[in-house]
Structure 1
Amino acid sequence: MGDPRDPQLPDSAELIADLRQELEDTNRGLIALHTELDAARRSEARLAAIVTSSDDAVISVDPGPAYLLQTWNPGAQRLFGHTDRHILGRPVDLLMPPDALGAFRAAVQDVRSQGHTAPHRSRWRREDGTEVDVEVTVSAVRETDGVLIGFSTVARDITQQLSAQAELTAARAEREVMADRDRIARDLHDLVIQRLFASGLTLQAALSRMAGPKDSAERIERVVGDLDDTIKTIRTTIYGLREQDQIRSAAGTRSRLVAIVERAAEVLGFAPALRMSGLLDTDVPAEHAEHLLAVLGEALSNSARHADATAVDVNVEAGGGILRLEVADNGCGIDPAVTRRSGLANLRRRAEERGGTFALTPNRPTGTVLVWSVPLPGDHG
């Protein structure tokens, strides 16, 4: 044993100082580790809360080949009907018809080979056997060392989006038909009738100079008469075409709503989802329809200019003596107390002057909900 008085050995004060320094370093390391773990736990909790509260179906499956379901959020239960107790551990093809399963396997293969895949549209099966249109996004789930442990899948219900697109397509087709009818009417009036009329005048001039047999003159007169009758028939057809277009234009509240949403899509950069219910073309008087269309146009304009939204839902209902419009977006939101903007004041006035109501409230989790409703008259025929 060395001599404690040896000057080469550290004295007790130095040892204590070294130990204290080691303890402080260890303490700082533990605090840093605790802080990091706490941040990780909070991050995981936030992620879990997002998944739990999501309206989309968020699920995960094992790496295959059966792709057994490992997680199942409440959005998946709402969309497909299965409870997590019933579905977890079962193969994902329980949710998919053959075509959908093929598309899912192709997406998984893309993720394996390329690291990513584009979202795809598909039809998945609910618990009751019905099918629902969904947009599917597949991504890899890996451990921290990069080992693949499964695939995360988000399935978003796009039924309303497809319905809105179908309404827009129908509106475009209807406008094209109306444009063709108008063109045909113009051509009949400007070209066909004029040519027939000119032919009749030519025959009448020839008849006045004819000195031949009487039966020839009678045949020409009959031809001229037939031409006159044809001209009258064509004119009647033209009037009928234009009258039908006017009737359709006046009565087509649904078509006009679709047209407004279609125009807004060009500004928003996406097609708002449009749902219509009730007899909008027959139970909504013309004056109410005009106010409804004006309010919808202003609401969509506000979403385009101020909301910075990526989704807008439009719901129009006529029933129970009430005409109701709801426009909800997921944008940056607006203070419900701000009602002095001229556009909002106009919307409120349009409702109150007809005994109705106007409300602007926050959407959840983000955005704004506008509700405009007015009573329908008991007799509007």
Structure 2
Amino acid sequence: MEDADSPRTADNADDLAELERRARLVDELGQELDDTNRGLIALHTELEAARRAEARLAAIVASSDDAMISVDPALLVQTWNPGAQRLFGHAQEHVLDHAIGLLMPDAAFDAFRAVAKEIRSHGHADSYQSRWRRTDGTEVDVAVTVSPMRDLDGALIGFATVARDITHQLTAQAELAAARADREVMAERDRIARDLHDMVIQRVFGAGLVLQSITTRITRPDATSRIHAVIDELDATIRELRGTIFNLNQPAQKAASLRSQVLDETTAARDRLGCAPAVEFHGPVDAALTDETAAHLLAALREALSNVARHAHASAVHVAVRAGDELLLEVADNGRGIDPAVTRSSGLTNLRRRAENLGGTFEVIGRSEGGTRLRWCIPLKDPAAPTDPAHA
């Protein structure tokens, strides 16, 4: 038998220790592989959840009726959803990498830049209302929300912009305001009617009774006849007051809308023009204009159509009325163009004077395709605008 301390026995012990070391190493590697596998599974789960969340977000952006637009710090359009195309008419390839000012009149772009500046300075800005422009040149009322986009380090990388069409909302608000005003007017009319009935008529009637009692004590015929004449006047006054009370208790009659009045004017001018004018409206024409402003517009329209009928010899006439911060009337024709003598006509002078008295502008220019374009423009938000200019 070999001695336990022999070299062979020592070699066996070393082999056993090496096997145990390797077994431990295999176990440790197996544990690491298991941990790595669980980590990969968790990472895959997180990535899949992020992918699904991103897909849901993309579906929301793609299906939204609102215009959702992202711009870089230089205000160049980077993304453009289908809602933006439906609202403004631009295809995505026509707006990407272009300034977002493409969608706005100058004043609206100035407002957008001010909001972007506010976000850069303070990190946020309030929503606001504006008027943006479609591809066909018409303008649409929108509620605009601008939010900052930042990278992981918090640096500003652009602005997320949402524009919502609020045309119907503004129309509904104007109609609601008009309905409330009507109710207030009717309440005031009812109060006045009650006061007339309960106070004024009773006093007049009482005065008539006193005069009748006096006539029995007067013997002079001329004095008696004069008193009876006064009594008759008081009776007539009572009848008129009762008629007034009846009218006050009736609902106020609605005046025809400005749109319908413009259409009536253009229809009435058809025979003189020799053609039926095409008419278009932009903005809250009926809601934005006071009765006085509407009267000025209709007078300007009548004069402009009369001028076309007298001088243009046109076969087509186009009328456009735009209401926003200002009221713009455009009358374009395809007639024989501008005659220098016509610019000195009394009709054009009246149009110019009417516009200037209201703080506006007036011009008559030639069209490149032939004919003439008349532009009559006045501000709508100037409370100090003069009234009662010379009538055309």
TM-score (norm 1): 0.59
Tell me what 2:181 maps to.
Answer: 173
Q: Give runs of aligned pairs for residues 280-359 of structure 1, distance below 5 A.
A: none
Farther-moved stretch of structure 1 (35-44 vs 105-114): 105-114
Query: Which of 11, 33, 54 pairs up with 2:43?
Result: 33
Query: Which of 53, 72, 79 pairs up with 1:43?
Result: 53
Structure 1 Cα separation of the partners of residues 162 and 194 of structure 2: 53
* Pair 1:223-2:214 in alignment: no
Query: Match of 1:231, as an amino acid?
Result: I
Tell me what 1:161 maps to.
Answer: 169
Q: 1:24: how far off? A: 2.1
Query: Which of 17, 22, 26 pairs up with 2:32?
Result: 22
Q: 1:224: how far off? A: 1.3
Query: Match of 2:189, as an amino acid?
Result: R
Structure 1 Cα separation of the partners of residues 63 and 30 of structure 2: 49
Q: 1:42: how far off? A: 1.2
Query: Match of 2:94, as an amino acid?
Result: H
Q: 1:9: how far off? A: 10
Q: 1:94: how far off? A: 1.0
Q: 1:29: how far off? A: 2.1
* Pair 1:232-2:242 in alignment: no
Post-superposition CA distance 1:324-372 (Å, at most 9, x none): xxxxxxxxxxxxxxxxxxxxxxxxxxxxxxxxxxxxxxxxxxxxxxxxx
Post-superposition CA distance 1:166-200 (Å, at most 9, x none): 11111111222222222222222111111111111
* Pair 1:146-2:154 in alignment: yes
Tell me what 2:65 maps to.
Answer: 55
* Pair 1:204-2:212 in alignment: yes
Query: Which of 109, 134, 145 pairs up with 2:142?
Result: 134
Structure 1: stretches of 5+ with no match in the other structure: 250-381
Q: 1:39: how far off? A: 1.4
Structure 2 Cα separation of the partners of residues 99 and 192 of structure 1: 55
Query: Match of 2:171, as an amino acid?
Result: S
Tell me what 1:326 maps to.
Answer: none
* Pair 1:124-2:136 in alignment: no
Count residues in correspondence: 242
Structure 1 Cα separation of the partners of residues 195 and 186 of structure 2: 14
What is the percent sequence identity of the aligned residues? 63
Structure 2 Cα separation of the partners of residues 80 and 159 of structure 1: 13
* Pair 1:5-2:14 in alignment: yes
Query: Match of 2:118, as an amino acid?
Result: D
SS at match of 1:78: helix
Q: Give runs of aligned pairs for residues 257-268 of structure 1, distance below 5 A.
A: none
Query: Match of 1:241, as an amino acid?
Result: L
Q: 1:10: how far off? A: 6.9
SS at match of 2:216: helix
Structure 1 Cα separation of the partners of residues 184 and 33 of structure 2: 82
SS at match of 2:137: coil
Q: 1:238: how far off? A: 2.0
SS at match of 1:118: coil
Q: 1:248: how far off? A: 6.9
Tell me what 1:325 maps to.
Answer: none
Query: Match of 2:25, as an amino acid?
Result: L
Structure 2 Cα separation of the partners of residues 189 and 21 of structure 1: 101
Q: 1:153: how far off? A: 0.7
SS at match of 2:136: coil
Structure 2 Cα separation of the partners of residues 135 and 22 of structure 1: 56
Tell me what 1:110 maps to.
Answer: 118
